[in-house]
Structure 1
Amino acid sequence: MSSDPWGRVDETGTVYVRTADGEKVVGSWQAGTPEEALAYFERKYEGLVVEIGLLERRVKTTDLSAKDAQAAIDHLRQQVDEHHAVGDLEALAKRLSALVETVDKRREERKVQRAKQHDEARTAKETLVTEAEELAQSEQWRSAGERLRALVDTWKGLPRLDRKSDDELWHRFSHARSAFSKRRKAHFASLDAQREDARKIKERLVAEAESLSGSTDWGVTAARYRDLMAEWKAAGRAQRDAEDDLWNRFRGAQDVFFAARSGVFAERDAEQAENLTLKEELATEAEKLVPVTDLKAARAAFRSLNERWEAVGHVPRDARPKVEGRMHAVERAIQESEENEWRRTNPEARARAAGLTGQLQAAVDKLRGQVDAARAAGNNAKADKLAKELEGRQALLDQALKGLEEFGG
């Protein structure tokens, strides 16, 4: 018979392990000496020690699920309970019990974490829904549409909630997007309809203007042309291509009539010369509005001057382009100030300008480094070629920086 502190082998070859509840049969050994029997079952015990140690590390250092961890613990506990090893089985049982407590704690922590994530995801989705419902009422069709598309991408990146909550919030979110799309579609359909109506009206006005272009009833026809112009302005704009073509025909018909009238009534040259003087005075007064320092005041002043201009009447045909060009130059300056003000207050244009400037600056820096490297390597031909490209990029950068300054820095 052979024994050690945790087990023994009797004369029949039966192997026992000592536990707090007394000796338990481990198994029977007939293949060798009692010492070999004890060594075999001690190795099985060491194997259990290793497995438990590995499981402890997995539980502490990996994202092993509580379910899988509990299954592994149950499997090891069964082996310990079956007493098929010689060693301190009670110590192993205690380690497994402690591991159960760790897994239970981990399970509870994950439950709390999932609940927190669920609440955060719900709050985030409710925020998205609220913003989408606000955007659904917007008439900023482009920016609101882009923002709604961005909200969809954000939504896709959030975790799912329980099906009922997720479906309810998605229904509201989707309904808001649909409502916006429907309103936008209706708006542009209405706009298209208005432009089509304007096109039909202006085609009628053009037809009448062209029919009147050969008239010699100077006073009545000129008055009718003024009425046609008022109707033209009241009709609104047609589609861009149609608008430009119709306007050229409309203005051309008027030009034919008034040119003929000017030829017949040469005595009105003096009157037209006086008109020219008046319009030159108005142009001079208008030019004082440039450079524009007070946009609102400049617009109002120019509108008043333009009304007086329209009331003056015709000027000699050969002088008209120059004097009208002076007024148009002032008008363009005011329009440019309006556009600059719009761009300055437009965050999308500012962001694009800043992005372009950053890209150009990076390209300039890269080219400058390549030029220096080529010079250092003695490759002057390549350096000269890169320097020319650098010069072009630098000019673009300077222009972009100047544009960015218009936004206030």
Structure 2
Amino acid sequence: MSSDPWGRVDETGTVYVRTAEGEKVVGSWQAGTPEEALAYFERKYEGLVVEIGLLERRVKTTDLSAKDAQTAIDHLRQQVDEHHAVGDLEALGRRLDALVETVEKRREERRAQRARQSDEARKAKEALVAEAEELAQSEQWRAAGERLRGLVDTWKGLPRLDRKSDDELWHRFSHARSAFSKRRKAHFASLDAQREEARQVKERLVAEAESLSGSTEWGPTAARYRDLMAQWKAAGRAQREAEDDLWNRFRGAQDVFFAARGEAFAERDAEQTENLKLKEELAEEAEKLVPVTDLKAARAAFRAINERWEAIGHVPRDARPKVEGRMHAVERALQESEESEWRRTNPEARARAEGLTGQLQAAVDKLREQIDAARSAGNNAKADKLAKELEGRQALLDQALKGLEEFGG
């Protein structure tokens, strides 16, 4: 019989292993010596030690799933429990128990990690849904549309939740996207209708602008072009291609008209500048008639100058008041000379002036006599009162005498 600390072989070739519960039959060995039998079963024990060691390292250093790890543990435990090896089987069992605890701890950690990831995914998806529902009300069509597409990509990168929660959140997310798409489609449909209406309005404006491009009624046509431009701005924008083409036609028609008007105004300005030069020469000629020495000759000369003036035509507007003012000044001088001559030669006016002068002279003489009488009588108060009255009558008399002089004395 052969034995070691963990097993023995009896005389019949039966191999035993020692355990805390007593000896257990390992197997039967008939092919050799008892030592060879123990060595064989001891090698099987070492094999279990190696397998358990490898499993321990896999559990600690790899992402071996808890399920696969438990399957491997169960397989090894079965081999240990079947006592087909000689060695410290209780020690192997304890190592397997420790592995079970390690696997269970990792299972709990992964379960907690999945719970955290699920909670984070839920919060992330709820945030995506909230943002999508807010964007659904936006009118920033391009930016909001691009952002919603980005949210879809983000959603796809997140883990799935439980079916019910994931479906509910996806339904809200999808509904928000659909609502935005529906509003955007309606907006652009309305915009297309507005642009088509604007195109029709601008077609009419272009047609009228082109019909006016050859007009020579500069003022009314320019005013009408301003009206057309105001209507153009109020019409809104047409489709891009139509807008550019219509604007080029509209602007081209205006350019034709205003270029023609510019040429006409340039010719007119040149003509009016020459007219101004001629009228300044006539104004200078007229001013030589003042002061008037021969009214009849001066009037005839001014009439001839004025006829030439009227034949010349318009001058630049900003120069008109000055040059016309010079002619008006000469005309007023002639009128004043005529009025003076008329007063001087009018017999009725002369008679009225002489009569008024005589009356005033008589009144002055009478007042002087009354003043002398009052002072002789010692009535100085009355004399002073009459003296003030005399001052007023004397002033009127002086004016009348001056007027009488204009009639030749």
CA RMSD of aligned residues (A): 38.2
**How much has 1:208 moved relative to structure 2?**
2.1
The superposition leaves residues 178-226 of structure 1 with CA deviations (integer Å, 9 ceiling, x where unpaired) of: 2222222322232222222111111111112223334556655444433
Structure 1 residues 131 and 214, CA, compared in 2 at 3 Å: closer, same or farther?
Answer: same
The superposition leaves residues 215-251 of structure 1 with CA deviations (integer Å, 9 ceiling, x where unpaired) of: 5566554444333222222111223332232223223
Higher mean alpha-carbon deviation, 335-344 vs 71-80, is at: 335-344
**How much has 1:5 moved relative to structure 2?**
1.3
**Alpha-carbon contact 1:2-1:9 (below 8 Å) kept:** yes
Structure 1 residues 259 and 80, CA, compared in 2 at 3 Å: closer, same or farther?
Answer: closer
Determine helix, strand or coil for the equivalent of 1:83: coil
Structure 1 residues 135 and 282, CA, compared in 2 at 3 Å: closer, same or farther?
Answer: farther
**How much has 1:165 moved relative to structure 2?**
1.3
Higher mean alpha-carbon deviation, 221-230 vs 101-110, is at: 221-230
Higher mean alpha-carbon deviation, 324-333 vs 87-96, is at: 324-333
Q: Distance in 1 between matches of 2:278 and 2:388?
A: 53
Structure 1 residues 54 and 251, CA, compared in 2 at 3 Å: closer, same or farther?
Answer: closer
- Alignment correspondent of 2:169: 169
Determine helix, strand or coil for the equivalent of 1:159: coil
Higher mean alpha-carbon deviation, 120-129 vs 224-233, is at: 224-233
Can you give the 5+ residue segments of structure 2 that lack an aligned partner in the other structure? none
The superposition leaves residues 324-362 of structure 1 with CA deviations (integer Å, 9 ceiling, x where unpaired) of: 999999999999999999999999999999999999999
Q: Distance in 2 between matches of 1:371 and 1:27?
A: 184
Q: Distance in 1 between matches of 2:404 and 2:8?
A: 90
Structure number with bigger Rg? 2
**How much has 1:52 moved relative to structure 2?**
1.1
The superposition leaves residues 302-340 of structure 1 with CA deviations (integer Å, 9 ceiling, x where unpaired) of: 999999999999999999999999999999999999999
The superposition leaves residues 151-174 of structure 1 with CA deviations (integer Å, 9 ceiling, x where unpaired) of: 222222211111221122122222
1:394 pairs with 2:394:
yes
Higher mean alpha-carbon deviation, 345-354 vs 207-216, is at: 345-354
Q: Distance in 2 between matches of 1:37 and 1:216?
A: 130
**Alpha-carbon contact 1:133-1:176 (below 8 Å) kept:** yes
Higher mean alpha-carbon deviation, 235-244 vs 16-25, is at: 235-244
The superposition leaves residues 9-29 of structure 1 with CA deviations (integer Å, 9 ceiling, x where unpaired) of: 111111111111111111111
**How much has 1:397 moved relative to structure 2?**
100
The superposition leaves residues 249-297 of structure 1 with CA deviations (integer Å, 9 ceiling, x where unpaired) of: 2233344445556677788648999999999999999999999999999
Q: Distance in 2 between matches of 1:277 and 1:11?
A: 156
Higher mean alpha-carbon deviation, 2-11 vs 188-197, is at: 188-197
Structure 1 residues 63 and 263, CA, compared in 2 at 3 Å: closer, same or farther?
Answer: closer
Q: Distance in 2 between matches of 1:405 and 1:118?
A: 125
**Alpha-carbon contact 1:44-1:86 (below 8 Å) kept:** yes
TM score, norm. by length of structure 1: 0.62
**Alpha-carbon contact 1:2-1:8 (below 8 Å) kept:** yes
- Alignment correspondent of 1:311: 311
Determine helix, strand or coil for the equivalent of 1:8: strand
- Residue correspondence of structure 1 range 277-316 to structure 2 within 5 A: none
Higher mean alpha-carbon deviation, 39-48 vs 239-248, is at: 239-248
**Alpha-carbon contact 1:273-1:316 (below 8 Å) kept:** yes
- Alignment correspondent of 2:180: 180
Higher mean alpha-carbon deviation, 393-402 vs 316-325, is at: 393-402
Q: Distance in 2 between matches of 1:350 and 1:27?
A: 178
Higher mean alpha-carbon deviation, 124-133 vs 286-295, is at: 286-295
Higher mean alpha-carbon deviation, 234-243 vs 348-357, is at: 348-357
- Alignment correspondent of 1:253: 253
**Alpha-carbon contact 1:262-1:268 (below 8 Å) kept:** no
**How much has 1:100 moved relative to structure 2?**
1.2
Structure 1 residues 352 and 160, CA, compared in 2 at 3 Å: closer, same or farther?
Answer: farther
Higher mean alpha-carbon deviation, 136-145 vs 277-286, is at: 277-286
Determine helix, strand or coil for the equivalent of 2:318: coil
Higher mean alpha-carbon deviation, 277-286 vs 72-81, is at: 277-286
Structure 1 residues 270 and 26, CA, compared in 2 at 3 Å: closer, same or farther?
Answer: same
Q: Distance in 2 between matches of 1:3 and 1:94?
A: 24
Structure 1 residues 164 and 283, CA, compared in 2 at 3 Å: closer, same or farther?
Answer: farther
Determine helix, strand or coil for the equivalent of 1:17: strand
The superposition leaves residues 126-175 of structure 1 with CA deviations (integer Å, 9 ceiling, x where unpaired) of: 11111121122222222222222222222222111112211221222222
Structure 1 residues 36 and 197, CA, compared in 2 at 3 Å: closer, same or farther?
Answer: same
Q: Distance in 1 between matches of 2:67 and 2:369?
A: 58
Q: Distance in 1 between matches of 2:123 and 2:339?
A: 41
- Alignment correspondent of 1:83: 83
Structure 1 residues 257 and 52, CA, compared in 2 at 3 Å: closer, same or farther?
Answer: closer
- Alignment correspondent of 2:208: 208
Q: Distance in 1 between matches of 2:368 and 2:31?
A: 84
Higher mean alpha-carbon deviation, 40-49 vs 341-350, is at: 341-350
Higher mean alpha-carbon deviation, 281-290 vs 197-206, is at: 281-290
Higher mean alpha-carbon deviation, 337-346 vs 146-155, is at: 337-346
Higher mean alpha-carbon deviation, 31-40 vs 192-201, is at: 192-201
Q: Distance in 2 between matches of 1:170 and 1:393?
A: 116
Higher mean alpha-carbon deviation, 103-112 vs 250-259, is at: 250-259
The superposition leaves residues 65-119 of structure 1 with CA deviations (integer Å, 9 ceiling, x where unpaired) of: 1111111111111111111111111111121112111111111111111101100
Determine helix, strand or coil for the equivalent of 1:205: helix
Q: Distance in 2 between matches of 1:148 and 1:347?
A: 108
